[in-house]
Amino acid sequence: MSSAMVNQGLQPADIINNVEELLQKYLQVPKKTYPRAIALSAGPIKYHQVELQGERDTGDIIDGVTENLRTIADELERDYGSEIDNTFHQHDSNLNQYGTFRLAAENLLSNIQTPILQLGAVFELCKRYTSAYPAFSGDGIIEQNAVRYIRDHFTPDGTWKPERN
């Protein structure tokens, strides 16, 4: 894990630098659902600060990062749940094909302005596919599509670069 991730909480660049490891952790985060009334009135979600104090081990750092991934998942569900659902259902059976995954990600990310949530949305497409099609997700293709998309369409600091037509 990078030192920025340890000292400042999870940043978009940290996701880029540790994309495979963090995607695997994100796939293990349980999904929460927000009632729509709460979602409309809720303020911004606070991210967990991950800091080393004394003799904390790597497990503490990983727990803090996992808590941040859970926060990203919760915020995505709260603020963009219906857009993610619609995008997933429109493309779900073909997300294992990179072209379809890229198209779905482009459509979804065009509605999200926050870089860390854009990265989380790519993770969420992957998570929804592995949840909906467990028998077809054992080959790791969907995870490879997510990692490839992030590497091809995000700068090292986490800024999304949409594909130009």
Percent of the chain past pLDDT 90, that is, above it, reads 41
Q: Helix (H, G, I), strand (E, B), or coil: what is residue 34?
A: coil
Residue in 129, 3, 2, 25 with CA at minimum distance from that of residue 72: 25
When comparing pLDDT for 16 and 34, which is higher? 16
pLDDT of residue 61: 55
Gap between the Cα atoms of 86 and 108, Å rounded = 9
Mean pLDDT of 36-48: 43
